[in-house]
Amino acid sequence: MSERPEQRKDPVDAIIEQWAKVRPDLDTTAMEVFGRVNRLSIAMADRVTKAYAAFGISRGEFDVLATLRRSGEPYTLSPRQLSATLMLTTGGMTGRLDKLERAGLLRRSPDPHDRRGLHVTLTDKGLALVDEAVGVGLAAQTEALSALDPEQAGHLADLLRKLLRSTEG
């Protein structure tokens, strides 16, 4: 058994103890991991949302701009590519694009080769905004991660990768 120093309890521990009282037969080990993964995901979503709100955009809208930015010059993708990358239905994408286009952060133009198709391109304003926002969002996450020292953080990332690869694959 590796050393596992006693830590103070967290809300997940409390839930697990309650289950132990009323259903001592249950094996709640998996909750130790996935209960915390869920709560962390929610808590961080909240923080990052606030970071982007300073730029007048939502988390989902940031994701659209970031995907275009990451794709490199000329910062152009189709709505199809965007919704596939963000694991979103095309309907959800339409709404986001509407709002971002109204804000002048991106531009829709017809695809010259496919009369059905569309091009979505970052405007200069959109490029400038996403380049600044990505730094602020990362800073919020980096600050939260500083609760762990670099070695622990690296170890955590590796364990999560292993779990994720088996879960998504």
Partner DNA sequence: AGAAAGTAGCTTAGCGCTAAGCAACTTTCC
Partner DNA sequence: GGAAAGTTGCTTAGCGCTAAGCTACTTTCT
What tokens appear for 7 in the block? 């830590």
Classified as helix, coil or strand, 18 is helix
Name residue, tokens 């133009």. 109
Name residues contacting a second copy, limited to 100-159 (CB under 8 A): 131, 134-135, 138, 141-142, 144-145, 147-148, 151-159
Based on CB atoms, which residue is closest to a second copy, 19 or 95? 19
Task: Assess 89 for contact with a second copy (CB under 8 A).
Answer: no
Nearest CA among 41, 43, 63 for reference residue 52: 63
CB of 102 to a second copy, least distance (A): 26
Q: Which amino acid is at 14?
A: A
DSSP 13-65: HHHHHHHHHH-TT---HHHHHHHHHHHHHHHHHHHHHHHHHTTT--HHHHHHH
Binding residues for DNA, rule: CB under 7 A, are 58, 60, 78-80, 83, 88-97, 108, 114-118
Based on CB atoms, which residue is closest to a second copy, 41 or 94? 41
Rounded Cα gap, residues 23 and 105, in angstroms: 53
CB of 74 to a second copy, least distance (A): 12
- Interface residues with a second copy (CB under 8 A)? 1-2, 4-5, 7-8, 10-13, 15, 18-19, 21-23, 26-34, 36-45, 69-72, 87, 131, 134-135, 138, 141-142, 144-145, 147-148, 151-168
